[in-house]
Amino acid sequence: MKLDIDAFLQYLTRDKGYSQNTVAAYRNDLTQMAAFIAAEQAKGIIKSYDELLKSYLLKLREKRYSVATTARKVASAKSFFKFMVDSGRMRENPTQNLPSPQVSKHSLKFLSPSEYQKLLAEATKLPTPEAKRDAMMLELLYATGLRISELVSLSVKNIDLKQNCVHINSKRQVPFDHRLSLILGNFLRNDRLDLLYDERVEALFLNRRGKRLTRQGFWQIIKGYASKAGLGGKVTPQTLRHSFARRKLQSGTELRQLQQLLGHAYISSTRVYKQSAPRRG
């Protein structure tokens, strides 16, 4: 099964353009599933894949995984076996009747335009290179809905000012408007250079030592600005991602298109934005 899993992961990377984080999640889930199936088959008791997968689901429940984690692992199995059938490796899909745990959707937090402007205003109050970097990161995050890991992983080459988009990988590009293109252009020509000590460093966002800013570092930065803006614990990088998604749906973006923009592996992850009403601010 290992070779089949490797082929599936290559398919996700090459053909579907999934992020490294998403592919890693699939790898962990499917490796766990394969180990369980191998252990059961080693007992010498002949079981169909349908029975093995139902036993696997029971095992996940026994281990007291959260409903959300169990649902994700089941979804990973279903995607894998669908690939197995679609690619001709199997005739029938053994997950066809495998139940998916129902995940209760928690209310998502959104920033209203006025709240976002309050947050951004705190970064623009200072003329320091770090503050200009922070403002640029907030603008880009709010305008593209990137994950914080994707944001801090960006290099200069990922920014395409001719096409007005961010290249996350070969299969996923997130567009931005002309206003942000102008701001990014100025940042690249001027503000970024104030923190650059080694021209060989390709990272887009640098810390005060000229190295790539970490996700933990940016999380603390956002937390500080939120506190100063009177938004308390309401704001995280994920809040800006949620706000982007909600705005896109409100402007008429189709759910499948939004799924691609956000880089979601499952459409169910995107659908929660339709099910959650935004907070008023």
pLDDT 10s digits, 4-36: 999 999 998 888 878 777 888 899 999 999 999
Residue 196: left (phi > 0), alpha (psi -120 to 50), or beta? beta
Cα–Cα distance measured from residue 79 to residue 163, given in angstroms and rounded to the nearest whole number: 33
* Residues in Cβ contact with 194 at an 8 Å cutoff, skipping those fewer than 6 apart: 129, 132
What's the pLDDT at 275? Answer: 65
What's the pLDDT at 106? Answer: 56
* Global confidence as pTM: 0.66
Cα–Cα distance measured from residue 248 to residue 242, given in angstroms and rounded to the nearest whole number: 10
Q: Do residues 7 and 77 share a domain? A: yes
In a domain, 151, yes or no: yes
How many folded domains does the chain comprise? 2
What's the pLDDT at 19? Answer: 75
In a domain, 106, yes or no: no
The pair of three-digit structure tokens given for residue 110, joined into one six-digit string: 């959104």
Domain with 73 in it: 2-86
CATH of the domain at 250: 1.10.443.10
Which residues in the chain land under pLDDT 50? 277-281
- How many residues make up the chain in this entry? 281
Point out the domain boundary residue: 86, 105, 132. 86
In a domain, 93, yes or no: no
Q: How far apart are the first and last CA of the chain?
A: 51
Q: Do residues 133 and 170 share a domain? A: yes
Q: H or E segment at 173?
A: strand 172-175
